[in-house]
Amino acid sequence: MEISKWLPKFKVSAERDTNIGNYFYDNGVIIKIMDKDKWLVLGRKGTGKTALYKYLNDYLKKDNFDNKTIIPFNFSSYPWPVHNLYKETSQNNLNSYKKSWKFLFYTQIFSQLIAKKERNKIKLSSELKLIKSIFKNIYGKPEFAVNDTLKSKLLSIKKISLPGIDLESLDWSLTLGTLEFDDVDVSVDDIKKIRNNVFSLLNYLEKAISKELKDENFIILIDNLDEDWLIENIEQSKLLITNLLSTINEINNNIKGVKIITFLRVDIFEELKFNDKNKFSQDTAVEIKWSKKDLEEMLFSRIIKFAPSEFLNKEKDNVNVLFNYKKVKYNSLPIHYILKQTFFRPRDILVFVNIMSDESQKKRTKTKYFTPEIIYNSENEYSTYLYDEIMDEWSNQKPSISDYLAVIQSIGKPKFKYNEYLITIAQHFAFKEEKMNVSKSKVIEILKFLFSISVVGQVHKGKIIFNVDKPFHQININENFVVNYGLHKRLSI
């Protein structure tokens, strides 16, 4: 059977892949984050953070995994600016948003706890009955969306009563206009009243949570924290995410029955600044990294779901069943030749396979396998994809990333020396309106960055290495730099 007849086009975005549970491949991360202390999942774009988030949400929830209640927080359209209403100016920057984050978590936990008990026909305690009544008054119903927690009707309640807390004298008849990071359309007095109301309710929830979560196991999953990581908002986003991580760490350490697992781009985490960050990372974080073997098995786990029996009639089948040649250029196995052109991310290899599938359909003589010709003809489109991925991933933190790659294109060789890059980048910026101080130290900084993201590798002891192989390698400006094979076509090398 022709390969294009049975091999599907794989969804590159995990959010849109409705079949991901059928072939999800765990490269060892799940068991690490189910460990009591690990809760921060780091990884580059395309390494599978959202796939893992979706798998834990959709499939562990269905299986009632260890009697845990899964609560997904997807921040894809989260109203980040609303936190400015709750900022505590008396606190330092690393604590100024912690109460608003706590309020978000506690209200969602209580909302889900009430819903769970009522589904299971378990009688609510007097505290939960009161909290349910409060939520109905504020949000219209006991269950409400994450995005509505800090805005919605919370700011228009006339009065609210809590045991030992007098809120009736506070003015709840407040409304919000358009919220921007630098322009919150609410008066200073109104903001104070909003904070008083919310923080008073938070104090009540905080006192009740330990008692009410006895014998409960909640897992909150957080994804898409990079949605507001735009160049105009980066400094504000850094502060909010740092406060968020600090709050999560406090809750995970102190509230029994709750674990918050957070998925975050590693480049964003590296931009954050706070005390004992390295210790924090060692204690709490797991980074998603893929080996050649992992990526081959990930792809094969998908192939076996769709391949006809004629493809899988050997005892030692592997991903090479897709190809009819054992070796291609550079005397490489076909799959290793493809992996050389990636950043060792599932997304990259799936895109290459999809492009090969399209290419196979263009041939007049249909083929049962991917041939070397199909592989080579797929490289142009794939190379453009990889270039665009770099722009999408780095243009906010590194606005000059396109210039860095343009310099490599101007050099025009698969290998180059430090001095070549130094001379070419100086010439490049000499003709640009936006100037750069092209010093030796600056160029070394740029080359270190390009090595860290595997845009370039380096010749070391006679071998070509990239960051995906040797992440702790220190670049040597006396050795040749090597351009990632996947970028050759796009950069006309």
Q: Tens of pLDDT along 270-292?
A: 999 998 999 999 999 999 999 99
Average of pLDDT values for 230-255? Answer: 91
Identity of the residue numbered 47: T
pLDDT tens per residue across span 379-389: 999 999 999 99
Phi/psi zone of residue 64: left (φ > 0), alpha (ψ -120 to 50 degrees), beta?
left
* Site of tokens 């991917």: 370
**Comparison of pLDDT for 139 and 124, the residue scoring more:** 124
Mean per-residue pLDDT of the chain: 85
Among the residue ranges 235-239, 407-411, 453-457, the one predicted with the least confidence is: 235-239
Q: Which residues sit opposite 415 in a β-bridge?
A: 482
Closest CA to 385 of 343, 336, 334: 343
Q: Is residue 20 one of the residues assigned to a domain?
A: no
Average of pLDDT values for 44-48? Answer: 93
* Same-domain status, 373 and 447: no
Q: Is residue 336 one of the residues assigned to a domain?
A: yes
Q: Is residue 86 one of the residues assigned to a domain?
A: yes
Residue 295: pLDDT above 50? yes
**Comparison of pLDDT for 451 and 152, the residue scoring more:** 451
pLDDT band at 190, cuts 50/70/90? low
Residue 457: pLDDT above 60? yes
* Same-domain status, 322 and 247: no
pLDDT score at 146? 87
Token couple for 312 = 């899988």
Residue 170: pLDDT above 90? no
Number of domains within the chain? 3
Burial class (CB in 10 A: 0-12, 13-18, 19+), 3: buried
Q: Is residue 22 one of the residues assigned to a domain?
A: no
Residue 369: pLDDT above 60? yes
pLDDT score at 296? 95
Residue 153: pLDDT above 90? no
User: In the chain, pLDDT over 70 holds for what percent of residues?
Assistant: 88
Q: CA geometry: angle at 446 spanning 440 and 452, to 5°?
A: 135
Q: Is residue 1 one of the residues assigned to a domain?
A: no
Token couple for 150 = 């800090």
User: Residue 337: which domain range?
Assistant: 292-385
Q: Is residue 32 one of the residues assigned to a domain?
A: yes
Token couple for 351 = 């895109």
* Same-domain status, 125 and 273: yes
Average of pLDDT values for 68-84? Answer: 87
State which of 262, 287, 312 marks the end of a domain. Answer: 287
CATH code, domain carrying 483: 1.10.10
pLDDT score at 184? 39
State which of 236, 258, 287 marks the end of a domain. Answer: 287
pLDDT band at 139, cuts 50/70/90? confident
